[in-house]
Every structure is written in structure tokens, then in C-alpha cells.
Amino acid sequence: MNTIKLAILDMNNGHPNQGMRCLRDIANEYTDQLQWDEFNVRVDNVVPSLDYDIFICSGGPGNPLEGNGDWDVKFYDLLDRAWDHNKTSASRKKYFFFICHSFQMACNHFELGDIVRRKSTSFGVYPVHKTAAGKKDPILAGLPDPYYAVDSRDWQLIQPNLKVFKEHGATILSLEKIRTHVELERAIMAVRFSEEFVGTQFHPEADPIGMREHFKKEENRKTVIRNFSKRKYTNMMTHLEDPDKIALTHRFIIPHFIESALENLVPVGAVAS
């Protein structure tokens, strides 16, 4: 059987970040079952071909509604070709996971709702609530309700177009934390676009150990306190220490996605070569 291939799409536009390290670490856990490669989409204006089977698209900075007319066009074309392939192919589907920036891009492309700028940046570790569909979805299996996730975004998906959701067979899996003191619509935090396409508006790849070491560094600590507050920094570091919060989300969501894809790509009894 042909080797199963995973593509990691770096959407960070050259900005240093912890997310790509986390995604590489996760991919390396499956090297006995697949081959993986990395593509610097926004820097090199390149996307992988449909020769790959599994695609993980990272978060990134900036306005998800804007591109340079090159990499963004190629990215949307890749989504369309993979979506069409899955509709016409009886086997060997293409599996996509979207994170934060790429999630917002995909939701806008498929017209699932409004992508709008937040009134203020959401940054830290927050509870995320499962919907009825989310409680049944295998991607969130093993997580409590609410579960906790790393959030870092200036944009958000709101006002779901339920007609389009129904046409695509898409479902909302999770919603933003409940804020009784704020009269703002709760953002949609996770969506299953189809059996093969799924994504989150938060960062499920976040590794608590790596993040803790990153934010312990004096320059990073000062940046968070300056941009947000000392209380925000202290709360985030406390949550990162809790084994029932970020560690669970890191351990379950993307690994569940990869393992589910592998199960469907490798027939029962077959061995990936």
C-alpha cells in the first residue's frame, strides 16, 4: 500500500511561535505510520498537492479575510479540490484539520458564518463548552465539558449561517466560554465541516510544558503583562500547571483526528508501507 502522507501547513507568515513546534512533535509520534512534510504557505506562496492524505493547517497572525492574492488563492483552491475529491471518491479521502487563523479562513470560504474582529484580543487559557453534537463527536472524546484550551485571537466566527451548515452537513461542536456579564454573542470555537474536515478556533496543539517554559522567559512574561495584565499572566500559568486542562486537550484532539484519518485510510488488516 502507498505510504500515508501528512502535510503541515505553516500559516504563521514567518512569525516565531510555539504552535509549529507542537505540531511537529505530534506528527513525530506517528512516523511509524506516516510520512510528514512541512509547507511555509505564506512565506513561500506554496501549498501541498493532493498527493497528501492528511492536512493540518496552523494558526497565524493578521486578518483572515485578507491574503496577497497568491498563497491565499492557492490555499482556497486546495480546499475546493480536496472537498470535491471527497465528494466523488469512494475511498482514500483527504482529511483536514484547521487551527485558529486557517479555521477562520475555511469558515469564511465555506460561508459558514461571519468572521469579525473582536472588541479585544482573546489571550489565555479558557473553558470551551461542547454543544450536543460536540458531546457525541469523536474528536472531543475523553474531554470534560467544559474543557480548556489556549486562545489567542483578534478575530472570531459568529452568526452561523445555519442553512449553509445544513447544506454542507456541518455541525457546531463547541462554543466560547459563558460570559454572563458581557452582552456579546459567544464565538463558535469548533466546527465539523464534514466527516473529513474539522477545525477549532483555539489552539489544541498547545503543549503545556513547552508553553510554560516559553512564558517563564522574562521577555515573554513582560510582554504578556504589558499587553494584558499580571493577573492574566498568573491565571494562564496556573492553568498550564493543571494536568486536567491544557494537557488533556493537547493529548486528545489532534491525535484523535490523526488516528481517525489513519483508521479510514488503512483498511482493516492492511499495513501501511
- Write out the three cell numbers for 136: 457525541
Is residue 127 a contact partner of residue 177, using CB atoms and an 8 Å limit? yes
Q: At 185, is the pLDDT very low, low, confident or very high (cuts 50, 70, 90)?
A: low
Nearby residues of 148 by Cβ (< 8 Å), 6 or more positions away: 125, 126, 127, 128, 239, 242, 245, 246, 248, 249
pLDDT at 34 (0 to 100):
97
Check whether 75 has a pLDDT greater than 60. yes
Range 5-207+244-265 has CATH code 3.40.50.880: yes
Check whether 181 has a pLDDT greater than 60. no
What distances in angstroms separate CA 174 from CA 15, 53, 59, 68, 192, one per listed residue?
Answer: 28, 26, 18, 31, 10
Check whether 273 has a pLDDT greater than 80. no
Kind and range of the H or E run holding 115: strand 114-130
Identify which of 47-56, 124-133, 217-226 has the greatest average pLDDT. Answer: 47-56
Q: At 182, is the pLDDT very low, low, confident or very high (cuts 50, 70, 90)?
A: very low
Could you tell me the residue ranges of all domains in the chain? 5-207+244-265
- Torsion angles phi and psi, residue 36, rounded to 5: -130, 150
pLDDT at 270 (0 to 100):
52
The predicted-structure confidence for 99-140, as pLDDT tens digits, reads as follows 999 999 999 999 999 999 988 777 778 889 999 999 999 999
